[in-house]
Amino acid sequence: LPAGGVSLRLCSTQVAQEGINKPVIDRIIRVDHAGEYGANRIYAGQMAVLGRSSVGPIIQQMWNQEKDHLKKFNELMVAYRVRPTVLLPFWNVAGFVLGAGSALLGKRGAMACTVAVEESISDHYNNQIRTLMEEDPEKYKELLQVIKQFRDDEREHHDIGLEHDAEATPAYSVLKTAIQLGCKAAIFLSERI
Amino acid sequence: VRCQHYPPLRALQASAVLRRVSDEHKKEPLTSSSQQHFDSHPADHQPEQEPQGPRPSYTGQGGQESEDYESEEQLQHRILTAALEFVPEHGWTAEAIAEGAKTLGLSVAAAGMFHSDGSELILHFVSECNTKLSELLEKEQKLVQLGEAEKKPIDEFLRDAVETRLRMLIPYIEKWPQALSVLLLPRNIPSSLSLLTSMIDDIWHYAGDQSTDFNWYTRRAVLTGIYNTTELVMMQDSSPDFEDTWRFLENRVADAMNMSNTASQVQSTGEAVVQGLMGAAVTVSNAETSRAMR
């Protein structure tokens, strides 16, 4: 081993990209992957109930974009050798149940769920953009670009939800608060486990 | 209250003892190195260590060093590497470390820098073996990418990787059971577990695993099981060149492949059954509807 400062490192693997802040990037990619996975399942649940209604095509379109997002994070996960969250099977079920449940409240219910979730995700992406900008905008240029693009997409979904009378849902604010609380918990857990 | 100066002080004493006897390692004079140790935030010269006493932290990274100054971690690294030669004779003990220190021209008191049960020596050895394995796998991957070698099927790859890694134990096989028991001490479990998981992750990475779902965990758990059981079999194996162990390994890997094939078969069968039932339900409801219409 070279004499220049190679220490008794616990981790015996080689980092794919030298010089990146591995713990921070790990968390970011893991939680974003979990988020896109969950979003996919939410739209799948909504389609299962409202697929044949008038909002079907719009939900399908938003779902397709989420599928692209998930694909991108799958690639990033392999490239940076990040471990996926162990809660994936749980988000699989929980996401579907949330989507189907909100859709059973009607078209507006589904749109309210979309608004709540997309707002949480946009805020979350904004936080990550801030973190990466503070770290080193040059080093993480590609990742920043991806997250910015996805944040804009999610914002668009949020606006579509509002356009389709999300706010007219009965108990809108209660529903929205509950869903956003759930999102915060999901983000906290997926970052860590 | 953690005394922040405790590690450097101990290092200073240890280093002082060593330097009194050694010739080769005349670095900067004692006073200036003590200056460096007692700086409040010697970001460049002090390797990042948790203030947990004189023991080296395995999660720390070596700091930048000025050209002639050798960090305590580097020194310990060299002593432990030299000590490995004496393990077959003395076991994973302070004696082996003392002998290793002697070959470097240091005082046998150097062994006092380490735990008496040889924990650091064993962890150092495991870490070195894992690094060697990663380098070999990296080299092999390069050859495949350049087209100079065939890409191995997964079961063969896993078998070869585990065999290569276990073969590194052969020179120390007599004393390895002792090492295993030390690695299982509660104090050492975080380190030894971390070394194990990163080694298994490495093997899967080079095997081409690109799973991003729960399979990530299943595969690593299975391979960890294969590795650990094969290691234990190797301890008891007295066949020529451990051929019983490699046969055991081959069978376990084959079992794992079978399990995953069976799992996917079960899943497709399950899906087919569900579709069949749904078809039957639709047919029956159509029949009922048309009968009701008549």
Domain-by-domain residue ranges, chain B? 72-116, 119-278
Confidence category of residue B3, pLDDT binned at 50, 70, 90: very low
Average pLDDT over residues B218-235: 96
Going by C-alpha positions, the residue among B114, B112, B115, B110 that lies closest to residue B100 is B110
From A86, which residue of chain B is nearest by alpha-carbon distance? B214
With 0-12 / 13-18 / 19 or more C-beta atoms within 10 angstroms meaning exposed / middle / buried, residue B232 is middle
Confidence category of residue B64, pLDDT binned at 50, 70, 90: low
Tokens matching residue B246: 């490699």
- CB proximity list for B29: less than 8 A, separation 6 or greater: none
Confidence (pLDDT) at B68: 62
Is pLDDT above 80 for B62? no
Confidence (pLDDT) at B257: 92
Does B194 sit within 8 Å of A10, measured CB to CB? yes
What is the residue-wise DSSP string for A92-104? HHHHHHHHHHHHH
Distance CA B119, CA B189 (A): 11
Give the best residue of B27, B132, B212 to mutate against chain A (max A CB count within 10 A).
B212
Under a CB-based contact definition with an 8 Å cutoff, are residues B73 and A4 in contact? no
Chain A residues whose beta carbon lies within 8 Å of the beta carbon of residue B76: 8
Confidence (pLDDT) at B67: 56
Under a CB-based contact definition with an 8 Å cutoff, are residues A7 and B77 in contact? yes
3-state secondary structure of B61: coil
Is pLDDT above 60 for B21? no
> 10-residue block means of pLDDT along chain A (193 residues)?
36 53 92 95 94 92 95 94 94 95 92 94 95 90 93 94 89 93 95 91
Average pLDDT over residues B22-26: 47
Give the best residue of A8, A14, A85 to mutate against chain B (max B CB count within 10 A).
A8
Tokens matching residue B143: 């050859």
Distance CA B290, CA B294 (A): 6
Going by C-alpha positions, the residue among B177, B159, B168, B175 that lies closest to residue B133 is B168
Confidence (pLDDT) at A170: 87
Does A8 sit within 8 Å of B124, measured CB to CB? yes
ipTM confidence? 0.84
From B57, which residue of chain A is nearest by alpha-carbon distance? A8
Is pLDDT above 70 for B226? yes
Is pLDDT above 70 for B277? yes
Domain ranges in chain A are 22-191
Confidence (pLDDT) at A89: 94
CATH topology of domain A22-191: Ferritin (1.20.1260)
Under a CB-based contact definition with an 8 Å cutoff, are residues A144 and A76 in contact? no
Query: What Å distances lie between residue B221 and A11, A33, B126, B226, CA to CA?
Result: 18, 22, 19, 9
In chain A, which residues touch B (CB < 8 A)? 1, 3-14, 33, 73-74, 77-78, 81, 83-84, 86, 88-89
Q: What is the mean pLDDT of chain B?
A: 82
- Which of residues A14 and B142 earns the better pLDDT score? B142
Confidence (pLDDT) at B66: 52
Model-level pTM? 0.77
Count of CB atoms situated within 10 Å of the CB of B119: 20
Give the best residue of A10, A36, A91 to mutate against chain B (max B CB count within 10 A).
A10
